[in-house]
């Protein structure tokens, strides 16, 4: 966060745009309005919290999260045909390497690729920008892949989750007196409300409590949840393409047996459709779909339908076909696509993830989001939700990613599995939430999370800062 984003990325922006570099080949300050025009066309998904802002007027005030979105998704499409090619290709090395190191499943080949291109980025930087660019943040890039190999992906130990949780804590302070006590009682009250979910039977009371806690308790047996449904107008019928697919998937294409849905929650993620006319500055309707055949497809959802008799939800949309990449040799996650004419029907439960999708100067660009963790997709681990973490599996809980682990939620962590719990990641662990932690299962546990384990395996002091098993 501080090294790559607020350090290197912001420094490169100042090189390109600050008029004190006006004599350099990389200077594009006179064309910053062109970059701004492209930037303001971008419609990010809801998982990217901040909308794009103009570089010309607000760059000095950009937050680290804005610089992250700029680095990973916006910069290459916005700088293409403006920044000289040699500088753009050099910069794309950094973009690709950071994207790789932010993904959830990093292979040895990925690490090797990231290490190679980071070394190439560093080796060629002085020739392009002179020695002015070479500082501590640039030097630290040499050690980035080693850190990922030792401690996991960048998101597992960046400052974003800690600062995000600090923001949540700050909201609990409403006066200048007894600040610590305010925070303590606010968090205790929140946890009490969350714990009460399972004990409330009355629907209206449960909805009220959910509103107080700013959380929604979904039925875990349902992968797809719909809140509002709309009837189709009389006399309407589905187009022939959709009817044929519905006959195959659902067994009926009679429109009277379906209702229209504008958005739904799939596997805990809110998926919008293009029929949500109020949401114009965001695009959370371009998704990755994969079925049992593991064939991945990119779909732009027009609307959802729900079969009233079974409650099954289907997404109606148009498939996106990849035509090229923003840069042919680097940053393959940024793809140029075109919308096909053919309408597709997909099971809503086959939606795997929301994509970053936007149009810049008539070029439709999509990108996968490297991980779902930084978006805070996990808010609660409820009792019994994890029965076993088997040998060789990896569990990484980053700061702020889990707000509560209730009794019995993890019953066993077997030898050889990896458990990394970073400071602040779990705000409350109730009695019995971890029953057995076997020898060799934990590689790092920070202060205060495990006070005692079975005597024949190992025990730790509650106030130890950290240790390696």
Which tens digits make up the pLDDT trace of 393-445?
A: 333 333 333 433 333 334 333 333 334 333 333 333 433 334 333 333 333 33
Tell me: the pLDDT tens digits for 339-361? 998 889 999 999 999 999 999 99
Looking at residue 305, its pLDDT comes to 93
Q: Which of 324, 334, 311, 173 is nearest to 250 (CA)?
A: 311
Q: Structural domain of residue 119, as residue ranges?
A: 4-156
Same domain? For 231 and 323 the reply is: yes
Does pTM surpass 0.85?
no
Same domain? For 17 and 152 the reply is: yes
Residue 218 in domain: no
Residue 412 in domain: yes
Same domain? For 98 and 201 the reply is: no
Q: pLDDT below 50 — which residues of the chain?
A: 216-221, 376-469
Question: Are 411 and 147 in contact, with CB atoms under 8 Å apart?
Answer: no
Looking at residue 212, its pLDDT comes to 62
Looking at residue 277, its pLDDT comes to 81
Tokens in use for 85?
Answer: 């090619």
CA distances from 292 to 125, 240, 251, 405 (A): 45, 25, 19, 32
Looking at residue 247, its pLDDT comes to 92
Same domain? For 9 and 150 the reply is: yes
Looking at residue 425, its pLDDT comes to 39
Query: How far is Cα 424 from Cα 409, in angstroms, rounded to an integer?
Result: 18
Question: Are 218 and 268 in contact, with CB atoms under 8 Å apart?
Answer: yes
CA distances from 252 to 60, 175, 176, 241, 457 (A): 57, 60, 63, 13, 59
Same domain? For 128 and 178 the reply is: no
Read off φ and ψ for residue 335, nearest 5 degrees. -110, 145
Number of domains in the chain: 4
Same domain? For 152 and 14 the reply is: yes
Residue 219 in domain: no
């Amino acid at each position: 966060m501080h090294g790559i984003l607020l350090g290197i990325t912001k420094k490169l922006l100042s090189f390109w745009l600050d008029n004190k570099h006006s004599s350099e080949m990389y200077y594009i300050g006179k064309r910053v309005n062109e970059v701004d025009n492209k930037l303001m066309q971008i419609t990010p998904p809801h998982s990217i919290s901040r909308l794009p802002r103009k570089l010309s007027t607000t760059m000095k005030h950009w937050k680290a999260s804005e610089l992250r979105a700029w680095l990973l998704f916006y910069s290459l499409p916005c700088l293409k045909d403006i920044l000289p090619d040699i500088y753009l290709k050099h910069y794309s090395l950094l973009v690709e390497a950071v994207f790789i190191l932010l993904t959830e499943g990093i292979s040895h080949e990925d690490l090797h690729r990231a290490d190679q291109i980071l070394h190439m980025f560093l080796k060629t930087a002085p020739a392009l920008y002179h020695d002015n660019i070479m500082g501590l943040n640039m030097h630290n890039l040499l050690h980035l892949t080693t850190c990922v190999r030792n401690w996991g992906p960048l998101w597992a130990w960046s400052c974003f989750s800690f600062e995000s949780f600090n923001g949540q804590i700050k909201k609990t302070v409403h006066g200048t007196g007894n600040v610590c006590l305010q925070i303590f009682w606010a968090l205790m009250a929140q946890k009490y409300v969350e714990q009460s979910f399972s004990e409330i039977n009355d629907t209206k009371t449960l909805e009220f409590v959910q509103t107080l806690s700013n959380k929604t308790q979904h039925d875990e047996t349902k992968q797809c949840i719909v809140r509002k449904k709309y009837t189709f107008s009389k006399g309407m019928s589905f187009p022939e393409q959709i009817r044929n697919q519905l006959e195959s998937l659902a067994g009926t294409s009679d429109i009277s047996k379906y209702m229209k849905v504008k958005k739904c929650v799939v596997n805990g993620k809110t998926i919008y459709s293009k029929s949500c006319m109020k949401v114009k500055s965001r695009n959370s309707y371009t998704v990755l779909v994969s079925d049992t055949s593991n064939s991945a497809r990119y779909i732009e959802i027009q609307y959802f339908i729900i079969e009233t008799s079974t409650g099954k939800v289907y997404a109606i949309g148009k498939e996106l076909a990849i035509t090229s990449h923003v840069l042919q040799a680097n940053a393959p996650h940024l793809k140029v696509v075109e919308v096909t004419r053919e309408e597709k029907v997909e099971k809503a439960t086959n939606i795997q993830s929301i994509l970053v999708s936007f149009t810049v100067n008539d070029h439709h660009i999509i990108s996968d989001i490297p991980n779902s963790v930084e978006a805070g997709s996990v808010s609660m681990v409820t009792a019994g939700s994890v029965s076993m973490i088997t040998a060789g599996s990896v569990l990484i809980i980053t700061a702020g990613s889990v707000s509560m682990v209730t009794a019995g939620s993890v019953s066993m962590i077997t030898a050889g599995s990896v458990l990394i719990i970073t400071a602040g990641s779990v705000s409350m662990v109730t009695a019995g939430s971890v029953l057995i932690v076997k020898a060799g299962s934990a590689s790092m546990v920070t202060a205060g999370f495990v006070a005692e384990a079975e005597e024949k395996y190992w025990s730790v002091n509650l106030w130890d800062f950290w240790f390696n098993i």
